[in-house]
Amino acid sequence: MPLLLSSTLHLASFIILTAVIIALLSFSVKNNTERYGLAFSAEQHFLVDSQVEFSLNVSNCPGYILNSLHETANTLTAQLHIAGTPCDAFGHDLADLTLEVTYDTKTRLHVNIFDTAKTQFTIPSSVISLAPASSSFRADDSDLIFNYKNSPFAFWITRRSEPDAKPLFDTRLSSLPHTPIQPIIPSDSSTALDGFPLVFEDQYLQLTSALPLDANVYGLGEVVASSGFRRDIGTRGGTGTIQTMWARDIMDPEDENLYGAHAVYLEHRYNEKTQRSTSHGVFLFSAAASDVMLLTPPSSDVSLIQYRAIGGTLDFYFFSGPSPQKVIEQYGELIGLPAWQPAWGFGFHLCRWGYSDINETKEQVTNMREADIPLEVMWNDIDLYHARRDFTSDPTSFPGEEVRSFIRELAENNQHYIPILDAAVPVQSNESDMYLPYLRGVELDVFVKNPDGKEFIGQVWPGYTVFPDWFADNVQKYWTEAISNWSDHGVEFSGIWLDMNEIASFCNGSCGTGADLSDTSLPFGMPGSTADRDDNPAINSTNTMRGFVDDALTFATDWVWKALKTRGDGQTNVDLNSPPYTVHNGNGPLWVKTIATNATHAGGHVELDTHSLWGMMEEKATFHALQSIHPGKRPFIISRSTFPSSGKWTGHWLGDNFSQWKYMLYNIQGALQFQIFQIPFVGADTCGFVGDADEELCNRWMQLSAFMPFYRNHNIIGSVPQEPYRWTSVAHASRIAMNIRYSLLPYWYTLFANASQYGTPPLRALFFEFPDEPELFAVDGQYLVGRDILVTPVLTPGASTVDGIFPGRGRVLWRDWYTHEAVNAAIGGNTTLAAPLSHINVHIRDGSVILLHEQPGYTIAETRQSPYSLLVSQAADGYAFGDAYVDDGESQPPTPSRRLTFHAAKGRLTGTGEGQFHIAQALHTVTILGTTEPRTVAVNGEPVNDWQYTDATAELVISSLSLDLNLHWSIVWH
């Protein structure tokens, strides 16, 4: 059965061109309040004559035969030759491939299958530099083993430590179900499985691996998955998953591709016999548009994962774990560890699209302080801009000097400011329009081009726009200059917010080519706004409203006939705009609502191959620009589009979500996804972006987000205001939750130091810490902050209680954060907890020692000046451990720091510190939970009397201390 297209679609050229025009005419603009562009009906798939030869069916693909094998101590190299007549299913079969297997480290195995002629696109090391293999490592020392079969070539990955276990990855036909298989998802004919050979064509690659039936798979995104954090594999009543890798500008839909592309997953396996679990990871290093399918055929005794890509190579990395945390750390070691976050980034951030001027923005700062709700960072959306143009501030509503004065006033109060920076740069619209960011870009030749070498001109908020080409030689110089000049003219930012960088364009193709560039009107209304301002420098007296469909037709024919073009490193006769295999892009054709796929970049790269890299490359350029503008300081960046290695440069917000209860749950799932992706500084638009948040929803969400890494309230123009001071109950709940968050700042800060040093995920699914408890594998309504803080939020309206599971099956004692009482928890099942409106359930794990700020302040700077306290939650045997990382909170490492460690045993607590950073604040109070009442207490050998004991909570509180955390100290009680 054909995978997607039937032969009846192969029409003569003139009929196809007619279909193209009809399809373009069918595009319609939705009359709604979508912020980021238009939603099109784009069901048509464009074809060109060259596709007539393709079978659109892989059942006759012959696979490959391995020969010319060569092995060294840590590598295996071989040639793969096509095993029979090419099938040309969705492209031209490549006859000669190279297999390279490298045992990188004890826990990482690299398997790369690429075309021997190297005509396929691969990600340059100048774009993403992966960790190299250890030169001294030997294959025999690896925990992973590469096994292979010569004919037809197949490979499978096993563990040396578990020789009898099922392979971690297995492409053998004998391990997969018999084909052909009718569509597994009945509504989607592409889920028919015609065969499982290795397919390597110029426009289509396919590889399939067997998985254990009902496998626990996590990752593969970015996605809002209706099935939850554990991906739907087609069992337990599910239909399966089709995860498309293609960055896309869209308000958070369910089960479709989103802003980023991350072809990495973690699989967690439980052995029923041993009752132990292991985890491993699989990463495909490719920027190609692709579908990754998780499916379970009917009556099959295995599930499967299938990769279908329209370009690139099969460049896989396998991580042996064996714990979930180790898998994530090993992935980070390969792609790069997360950026160091400044301490102030952990404060509360406030934004809205719709703060119409500088005075309204200032009002928010005043109102927050009057309500005594901490505000660390004030943001502005595109309201800041003049004529919606990057690197500007509106001379009427946001005059540069007033913006400068406002930002400096914030700084005097230890607060910060972040503006938005959109991806598109407006073109110069007429001779009198001196928009320097565009003119300088032309001078330095840094914009994306059409195939004919002219500027690619799309359309975004300011009207017609061009797009920086991150492959261009001068682009870093250009970007740094533009951001620096923006700051010099008043917008003295502390960090940058990168938006629309999937990359987004509101029309299809180079719609500005040959158009009236002075026309900055858009083919839709701005939500909650009126027409363009009269003082827009790009508008002249002849400006008229443009018809969107007419624009589409002006470029359609030229664009379609340029579809066949050179691609990659010399590859020819390929279709750049409508590849024969159609991936499941939520927007339809890959060129909808973004740069055309035949647009060109410096070095000969085309957009089809590099599209999903754009946001990450912008983040990298912005990071380096901020390092230049603020030397020695940690850049703070929040971005929408991401790709593997983005975490080295940026944090992420979960995009344009909705003010709905289910999106609170998706908030948790998304944050857990991005821990796997090594982008741990993540959060959602609190209270939702689209729609009207009510009091109860915002109350609960402000509490939840206080326990997320990135904490920002942000909503759309025209919606009901949702700043936390708007409702008395929300203000009250926010103050309580923020007080806990700011108290926990040393804990948060240490978690992120560990992420930046080791790749350790700060946020954790319950099974990350308790991997041998299957009842936890699907839990995503609760989560852990680090190993010691369990968060159980209310995620449904009208609730006064919440059900939550307490991991550990009775072997772990959990204590209430607020009362310090031990929880009498059900073993392996839910416990019902009281949850009045202002209360979020937070529990402390036994065996933990947590460093806190004793007196949380209004800002992070004030909080960091307060004395420290220590919370010790002892296990039954008296054991507890904790550590803390302390530095100045803003210098780019390497910088002086101090690592504190705390150990508790029955009747004894000690602390030590190593490093060069001097901690000025003393340890003032120590609270020890789970101890008996002492007769005496001594600090550094000296008796003290300022202590209290509470029998109901087995709690000893020692006050009025002045312990120097730079020195060794001890507390003994008996």
CA pair distance 472, 458, nearest whole angstrom: 19
Confirm if 716 and 353 have CB atoms less than 8 A apart.
Answer: yes
Q: How far is CA 745 from CA 311, 495, 838, in A?
A: 45, 20, 21
Token pair of 548 as six digits: 């969107």
Q: Measured between alpha carbons, how far apart are the two ends of the chain, in Å?
A: 77
Confirm if 90 and 203 have CB atoms less than 8 A apart.
Answer: yes
Token pair of 675 as six digits: 């821990």
CA pair distance 195, 197, nearest whole angstrom: 6
CA pair distance 302, 471, nearest whole angstrom: 43
Vertex 46 angle, CA 509 and 198, to 5°: 110
Q: Residues 6 or more apart from 40 whose CB is under 8 A from it?
A: 27, 28, 587, 588, 592, 593
User: What 3-state class would DSSP assign to 928?
Assistant: strand
Rg (CA), the chain: 29
Of residues 809, 829, 802, 816, the one with CA closest to residue 769: 809
Handedness of CA 136, 139, 143, 144 (dihedral sign): positive
Confirm if 616 and 476 have CB atoms less than 8 A apart.
Answer: no
Pairing of strands 496-499, 637-639: parallel
| CA 485 to centroid of chain Cα atoms | 29
Confirm if 423 and 456 have CB atoms less than 8 A apart.
Answer: no
Token pair of 886 as six digits: 């302390």
Token pair of 964 as six digits: 């120097």
Confirm if 598 and 576 have CB atoms less than 8 A apart.
Answer: yes
Catalytically active residues are 499, 502, 656
CA pair distance 432, 565, nearest whole angstrom: 38
Of residues 237, 238, 236, 235, the one with CA closest to residue 302: 235
DSSP E strand boundaries for 230-313: 241-245, 262-271, 276-284, 290-295, 302-309
Q: Residues 6 or more apart from 397 whose CB is under 8 A from it?
A: 356, 357, 358, 383
Confirm if 332 and 232 have CB atoms less than 8 A apart.
Answer: no
CA pair distance 680, 58, nearest whole angstrom: 39
Token pair of 679 as six digits: 């982008």
DSSP category for residue 647: G
Cis amide linkage into residue 322, ω under 30° from 0: yes
Confirm if 401 and 415 have CB atoms less than 8 A apart.
Answer: no
Order of strands, sheet of 463-466, starting from the edge strand that comes earlier in the sequence: 425-426, 463-466, 458-460
Confirm if 921 and 868 have CB atoms less than 8 A apart.
Answer: yes
Greatest extent of the chain over all pairs of C-alpha atoms, in Å: 96
Pairing of strands 144-149, 789-792: unpaired
Q: Which amino acid is at 122?
A: T
CA pair distance 502, 640, nearest whole angstrom: 8
Neighbouring C-beta atoms of residue 355, cutoff 10 Å:
23
Vertex 631 angle, CA 627 and 637, to 5°: 35
Token pair of 537 as six digits: 């420098």
CA pair distance 184, 182, nearest whole angstrom: 6
Of residues 594, 593, 598, the one with CA closest to residue 579: 598
Confirm if 849 and 880 have CB atoms less than 8 A apart.
Answer: yes
